[in-house]
């Protein structure tokens, strides 16, 4: 597998860190952590675990997320600055694809974002003001919690999706379901440690200096909006933003940010659900899909040719059940190891597919309709097949190697990606580290939720005609080609 990565990746060995803000365990936290473990993500670092917050301030938990994560980031060594750090909400995020796909797509998305900047700015402006894309947030279909008519909600860039992505109803006022995602969602964040740290520092200062009382997303949206205000004033063709500004601010609209070094924070959105699917107002954009069987694609945007095959990055990643991270000795007595479906490919299993963008996202942020946390859980192939507990137990003791190795097409340099710093202390997926350095055993917090996490006994895995169909559900299947 070859991959062009940014010049920031100067080391041959870099780490991926996984941060989950969570104050206590419940079934939804355990779902998030379980999906990460089964796909061999780094052991999560739990920030603000059992943290004490002001019970009279209903926003305190959200705001504690900013300072708790910032404290962890400040504790990392400068040698980690080029590592990637992934931050996900602790109670409604599921992992769908392997970390090597996440890393590869991150660099592809960043490269695409920087190509857009090159079209909007003179090269010397980009260099002089340090304008670039390097930190990805999930993209929402609604600007929240700001007033949707505010300047902050309207100065940000257009989505990279086609202007007719939803037909004639695309971006209709008041119709969030047909809006192209482009607003900050703070439930999924990915970028280099040093740059994510700078964003959280800016958000923390904003909380202290201009406290508004909303959630953490409010502050990230504010600093993203200010970044785009400044970028707009420097672009080749600035947009006329006066219609969004109060009359008393129009004359001096940019004076307070023109020379603000904090304004350029390299924030970008994952507009196309390439890495992160944000589910609020987007349920109808998706379908659970098995790609190795035959049916007619339902999307009006994605062509039959592009939707009928899995992308190379998924096909080339480690398969759903991978021997390299499973301890065979755990299955010696009942010979269950031999029964694990090692020959299964990603084309054999149900995956959530975004019909509008044509992408299979790596991570699902299940915000919006929370009833889907229960309704969709059984769609995950290992959940419905009953293999979850077996895979967790075995992978928790398996030998560890690099998550991925990528080769720079131009230099031939190999970069290996490893799990984050704490993972060298325990080789287990069966637990979690807190940001204070304490180990939390899986059995102590999640074993009691086994009835929710693991559904049924392991089922036979049919690799014959039609492939494995997974649990009974509204699964759609893509064409593999003409009969």
Please state, as a whole number, how many other Cβ atoms lie within 10 Å of the Cβ of residue 237.
6
Predicted confidence band of residue 6 (pLDDT cuts 50, 70, 90): very low
Of the listed ranges 54-68, 222-236, 341-355, the one predicted with least confidence: 54-68
- Residue-wise pLDDT tens digits, 312-324: 999 999 999 888 7
Residues 6+ apart with CB under 8 A from 171: 163, 178, 179, 180
- Could you report the per-residue pLDDT of 117-137, keeping only the tens digit for each? 999 999 999 999 999 999 999
Residue entry with tokens 């010696």: 332
Q: Which of 412, 405, 101, 465 is nearest to 274 (CA)?
A: 101
φ, ψ (nearest 5 deg) of residue 155: -85, -15
Residue range(s) defining the domain that contains residue 8: 1-286+361-470
- Could you tell me if residue 314 is inside a domain? no
Three-state DSSP at 290 gives strand
Whether 482 is in a domain gets the answer no
Residue 383: pLDDT band (50, 70, 90) is confident
Higher pLDDT, 480 or 201: 201
Q: How does residue 428 score in pLDDT terms, banded at 50, 70 and 90? A: low
DSSP secondary structure code for residue 125 in this structure? H
The total of other beta-carbon atoms located within 10 Å of residue 274's CB is 23
Residue 412 domain flag: yes
Q: Is 338 helix (H, G, I), strand (E, B) or coil?
A: helix
**HSE toward the beta carbon, residue 179, CA cutoff 13 A:** 19
How many domains is the chain partitioned into structurally? 1
Distance of CA 31 to the CA centre of its chain: 15
Q: What is the chain's mean pLDDT, rounded?
A: 81
Sheet strands (E) in 148-246: 183-192
At residue 401, the pLDDT reads 77
Residue 26 in any domain: the answer is: yes
Kindly list the distances between the CA atom of residue 337 and the CA atoms of 326, 341, 397, in Å, as whole numbers in the listed order: 9, 9, 14
Does some domain include residue 456? yes
Q: Which of 198-212, 309-323, 325-339 has the lowest mean pLDDT?
A: 325-339
Q: What is the mean predicted confidence (pLDDT) over 417-426?
A: 68
309 assigned to some structural domain: no
Tell whether 414 is covered by a domain.
yes
Close Cβ partners of 236 (under 8 Å, ≥ 6 residues apart): 120, 121, 122
In 3D, which of 313, 413, 442 has the Cα closest to residue 10? 413
Q: What is the mean pLDDT of residues 67-88?
A: 94
Comparison of pLDDT for 460 and 141, the residue scoring more: 141
CB 239, CB 151: distance < 8 Å? no
Give the whole-angstrom CA distance, residue 88 versus residue 105.
17
Q: Cα–Cα distance between 341 and 421 in angstroms, integer?
A: 32
pLDDT tens profile 11-21: 489 999 999 99
Q: For position 239, what pLDDT does the model report?
A: 81
- 236-268 per-position pLDDT tens digit: 988 877 666 656 555 555 555 544 556 899 999
Q: Which residue has the higher pLDDT, 53 or 122?
A: 122
In whole angstroms, give the CA distance from residue 223 to residue 66.
14
pLDDT of 111 reads: 95
What is the rounded average pLDDT of the residues 209-216? 76
Q: Is the omega angle on the peptide bond into residue 145 within 30 degrees of 0, that is, cis?
A: yes
- What is the pTM (predicted TM-score) of this model? 0.87
**Residue 358 contacts residue 419 (beta carbons within 8 Å):** no
Report whether 44 contacts 18 (CB < 8 A). Answer: yes
Q: What per-residue confidence (pLDDT) applies to 125?
A: 95
Q: What are the contacts of 447-451 at 24+ separation with CB within 8 A?
A: 449/25, 449/26, 449/27, 449/30, 450/389
Backbone angles phi, psi at 433, to 5 degrees: -95, 145
Is residue 410 in some structural domain? yes
> Which contacts qualify for 297-300: CB closer than 8 Å, 24 or more apart?
297/355, 297/478, 297/479, 298/355, 298/476, 299/355, 299/356, 299/358, 300/167
**pLDDT value, residue 297:** 41
Predicted local confidence at residue 244, as pLDDT: 62
Distances from the Cα of 407 to the Cαs of 3, 112, 470, in angstroms? Answer: 5, 19, 35
The closest of 76, 7, 73, 32 to 452, measured between CA atoms, is: 32
């Amino acid at each position: 597998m070859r991959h062009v990565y940014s010049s920031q990746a100067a080391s041959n060995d870099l780490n991926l860190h996984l941060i989950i803000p969570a104050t206590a365990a419940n079934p939804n936290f355990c779902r998030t952590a379980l999906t990460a473990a089964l796909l061999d993500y780094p052991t999560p670092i739990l920030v603000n675990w059992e943290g004490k917050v002001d019970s009279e301030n209903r926003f305190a938990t959200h705001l504690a997320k900013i300072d708790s994560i910032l404290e962890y980031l400040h504790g990392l060594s400068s040698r980690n600055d080029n590592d990637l750090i992934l931050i996900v909400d602790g109670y409604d995020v599921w992992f769908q694809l392997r970390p090597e796909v996440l890393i590869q797509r991150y660099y592809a998305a960043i490269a695409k974002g920087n190509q857009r900047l090159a079209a909007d700015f003179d090269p010397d402006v980009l260099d002089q003001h340090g304008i670039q894309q390097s930190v990805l947030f999930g993209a929402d279909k609604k600007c929240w919690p700001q007033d949707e008519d505010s300047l902050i909600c309207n100065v940000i860039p257009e989505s990279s999706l086609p202007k007719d992505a939803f037909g004639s109803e695309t971006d209709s006022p008041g119709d969030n379901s047909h809006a192209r995602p482009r607003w900050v969602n703070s439930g999924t964040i990915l970028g280099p440690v040093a740059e994510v740290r700078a964003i959280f520092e800016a958000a923390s200062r904003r909380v202290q200096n201009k406290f508004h009382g909303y959630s953490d997303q409010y502050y990230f949206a504010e600093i993203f909006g200010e970044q785009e205000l400044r970028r707009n004033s420097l672009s080749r063709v600035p947009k006329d933003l006066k219609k969004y500004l109060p009359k008393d601010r129009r004359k001096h609209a940019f004076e307070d940010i023109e020379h603000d070094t904090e304004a350029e924070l390299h924030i970008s959105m994952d507009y196309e659900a390439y890495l992160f699917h944000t589910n609020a107002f987007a349920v109808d954009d998706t379908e659970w899909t098995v790609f190795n069987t035959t049916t007619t694609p339902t999307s009006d945007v994605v062509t039959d040719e592009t939707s009928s095959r899995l992308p190379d990055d998924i096909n080339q990643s480690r398969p759903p059940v991978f021997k390299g991270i499973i301890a065979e000795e755990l299955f010696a007595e009942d010979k269950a190891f031999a029964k694990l479906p090692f020959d299964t490919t990603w084309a054999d299993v149900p995956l959530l597919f975004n019909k509008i963008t044509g992408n299979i996202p790596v991570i699902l942020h299940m915000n919006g309709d929370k009833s889907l946390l229960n309704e969709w859980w059984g769609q995950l192939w290992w959940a419905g097949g009953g293999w979850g507990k077996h895979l967790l137990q075995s992978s928790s003791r398996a030998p560890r190697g690099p998550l991925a190795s990528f080769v720079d097409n131009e230099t031939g340099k190999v970069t290996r990606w490893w799990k984050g710093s704490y993972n060298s202390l325990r080789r287990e997926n069966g637990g979690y580290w807190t940001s204070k350095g304490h180990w939390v055993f899986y059995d102590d917090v999640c074993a009691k939720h086994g009835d929710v996490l693991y559904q049924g006994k392991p089922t036979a895995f049919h690799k014959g005609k039609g492939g494995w169909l997974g649990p009974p559900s509204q699964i759609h299947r893509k064409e593999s080609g003409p009969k």
